[in-house]
């Protein structure tokens, strides 16, 4: 955030059509959509505008991932017929300097001054509901017709003996490092843990990655998680799956961690410990009781499919929610909340095709249903798969790991979902999301004209496999008769 230190909160123009607590991606986007549609909007944040996404999360991790990918490519140069000098050194302070420069550049978009110029009343300070239709901030009482709670979440710390005394990094502090840890223990094999473990390994840290479940990325499909596991191992990461970290402590210059798998204990010595085991919702001190909002302090605020809380005038979106917690949901949430709150809309979150991606190498992206989910709902599923090594552009680019899998309702071309594992899966998934949002089926995807060669041909080929699998139509029969005349 580039807001000047002399920022003065405006005089309230209550009642606000929409009052938003939390200026992370969800809150910022909703404020901008609502003000564009003519609403009087108040936006409150106690900290940096942009939230952790900009200041501590997505943007910073993607920046460091880019540099780490470059180092990996330099080390792999020979595979591409190129030569680089031996012994490439990583200038870690320079890497982190780039991270800070990019954060500063992007954050200027979300300055309080810029938002105020758009017509949004920006308040900096701790917000607290004082009743079902009012919030206090910095000595002001702001009244609202509708409100949105988008206060996000904070890193969760697991009950590991000795953790507090030993000291550890979270995603809130890891990007402040100025010195690269030579040996890094990452506890947590979810998206953030895997992304950062791989990035640090490629930047030269000796990384040990511990996950308490049998696979990484618990929510993803087994073959996708396995490909990721293989890729992390190739990057030299020491992987411990199905393993508990039971105790950590300091011994001289080392931090020691006891790892227990199947009753067997092993102790590893590292320099720093990074804990990324999930998040806890930011609900404390918000006065949710006064507003009549039902909340589980561990899970978060309960919302329905319309993103309404138990107080029908108050909505919630993003990481603070117990359900419907999609990482990059901000634009969808903003549209749904603004339409439902201010314009009597009935937009449902479940009607949206919302893709997500883990930005490891290869990336793992998904949209719609998983096969298991479809089966649980009694929907018969057929899967069409194309492996990336069958796609010319993936071969030319040396990016052959992965696959595109399209799931359809058996006997139809209706797309239920898709998983893409590929170097650019986060981009590839968009074509499938577009098709799902527009109600297009696999026949439509099979007909898309694409430049050759591109990696998205994997999608077209999977769609064409579906077309080829359909029973021959009367038209095909007639064509054959015609040709045989």
Binding site for ligand FAD (CB under 6 A): 21-27, 44-47, 51-53, 56-58, 61, 126-127, 150-153, 171, 192, 282, 285-286, 318-320, 327-328, 330, 359
Nearer to ligand FAD, 172 or 230 (CB): 172
- CB of 330: closest distance to ligand FAD in angstroms? 6
- CB of 176: closest distance to ligand FAD in angstroms? 13
Nearer to ligand FAD, 156 or 434 (CB): 156
| 157's tokens | 């710390």
Nearer to ligand FAD, 60 or 237 (CB): 60
- CB of 124: closest distance to ligand FAD in angstroms? 9
3-state secondary structure of 271: coil
Nearer to ligand FAD, 71 or 175 (CB): 175
3-state secondary structure of 274: strand
Nearer to ligand FAD, 358 or 457 (CB): 358
Query: By C-alpha distance, which of 305, 328, 330 is closest to 317?
Result: 330
- CB of 350: closest distance to ligand FAD in angstroms? 19
DSSP bridge pairs for 248: 257
CA separation for the pair 381, 171 (Å, rounded)? 38
* Residue-by-residue DSSP string for 449-480: ---SS-TTHHHHHHHHHHHHHSPPPHHHHHHH
CA separation for the pair 160, 176 (Å, rounded)? 24
Nearer to ligand FAD, 247 or 328 (CB): 328
CA separation for the pair 86, 198 (Å, rounded)? 22
- CB of 191: closest distance to ligand FAD in angstroms? 7
Contact yes or no for 112/280 (Cβ under 8 A): no
- CB of 227: closest distance to ligand FAD in angstroms? 19
Could you tell me whether strands 295-296 and 300-301 are parallel, antiparallel, or unpaired per DSSP bridges? antiparallel
Nearer to ligand FAD, 216 or 466 (CB): 216
- CB of 52: closest distance to ligand FAD in angstroms? 5
* Triad 370, 193, 228: Cα angle to 5°: 50
Contact yes or no for 320/125 (Cβ under 8 A): no
CA separation for the pair 289, 308 (Å, rounded)? 16
* E strands, 58-139, in order: 121-124, 128-131, 134-137
- CB of 415: closest distance to ligand FAD in angstroms? 22
Nearer to ligand FAD, 45 or 259 (CB): 45
CA separation for the pair 349, 354 (Å, rounded)? 9
């Amino acid at each position: 955030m580039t807001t000047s230190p002399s920022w003065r909160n405006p005089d309230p123009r209550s009642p606000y059509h929409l009052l938003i607590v939390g200026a992370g991606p969800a809150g910022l986007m909703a404020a901008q959509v609502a003000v564009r549609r003519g609403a009087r909007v108040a936006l409150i944040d106690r900290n940096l505008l942009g939230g952790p996404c900009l200041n501590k999360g997505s943007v910073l991790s993607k920046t460091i991932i880019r540099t780490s990918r470059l180092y990996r490519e330099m080390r792999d140069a020979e595979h591409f017929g190129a030569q680089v000098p031996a012994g490439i050194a990583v200038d870690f302070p320079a890497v982190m300097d780039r991270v800070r420069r990019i954060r500063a550049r992007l954050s200027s978009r979300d300055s309080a001054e810029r938002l105020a110029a758009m017509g949004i009343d920006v308040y900096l300070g701790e917000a607290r509901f004082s009743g079902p239709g009012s919030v206090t901030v910095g000595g002001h009482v702001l009244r609202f017709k509708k409100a949105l709670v988008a206060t996000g979440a904070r890193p969760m710390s697991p009950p590991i003996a000795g953790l507090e005394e030993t000291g550890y990094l979270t995603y809130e502090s890891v990007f402040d490092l100025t010195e690269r840890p030579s040996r890094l223990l990452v506890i947590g094999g979810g998206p953030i843990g895997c992304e950062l473990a791989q990035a640090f390994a490629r930047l030269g840290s000796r990384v040990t990655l511990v996950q308490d479940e049998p696979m990484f990325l618990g929510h993803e499909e087994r073959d996708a998680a396995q490909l990721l596991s293989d890729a992390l191992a190739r990057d030299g990461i020491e992987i411990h799956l199905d393993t508990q970290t039971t105790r950590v402590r300091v011994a001289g210059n080392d931090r020691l961690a006891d790892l227990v798998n199947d009753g067997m204990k092993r102790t590893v010595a590292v320099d720093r410990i990074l804990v990324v085991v999930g998040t806890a919702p930011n609900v404390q001190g918000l006065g949710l009781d006064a507003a009549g909002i039902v909340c589980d302090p561990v899970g978060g605020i309960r919302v329905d499919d319309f993103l309404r809380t138990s107080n029908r005038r108050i909505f919630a979106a993003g990481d603070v929610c117990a359900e419907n917690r999609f990482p990059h949901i901000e634009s969808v949430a903003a549209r749904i909340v603004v339409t439902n709150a201010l314009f009597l809309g009935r937009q449902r979150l479940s009607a949206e095709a919302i893709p997500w991606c883990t930005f490891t190498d290869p990336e793992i992206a998904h949209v719609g249903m998983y096969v298991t989910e479809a089966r649980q709902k009694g929907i018969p599923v057929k899967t069409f798969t194309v492996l990336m090594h069958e796609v010319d552009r993936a071969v030319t680019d040396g990016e052959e790991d992965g696959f595109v899998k399209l799931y359809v309702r058996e006997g139809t071309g209706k797309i239920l979902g898709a998983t893409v594992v590929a170097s650019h899966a986060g981009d590839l998934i968009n074509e499938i999301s577009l098709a799902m949002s527009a109600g297009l089926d696999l026949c439509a995807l099979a007909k898309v004209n694409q430049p050759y060669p591109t990696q998205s041909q994997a999608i077209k080929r999977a769609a064409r496999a579906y077309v080829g699998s359909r029973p021959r139509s009367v038209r095909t029969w007639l064509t054959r008769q015609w040709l045989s005349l």
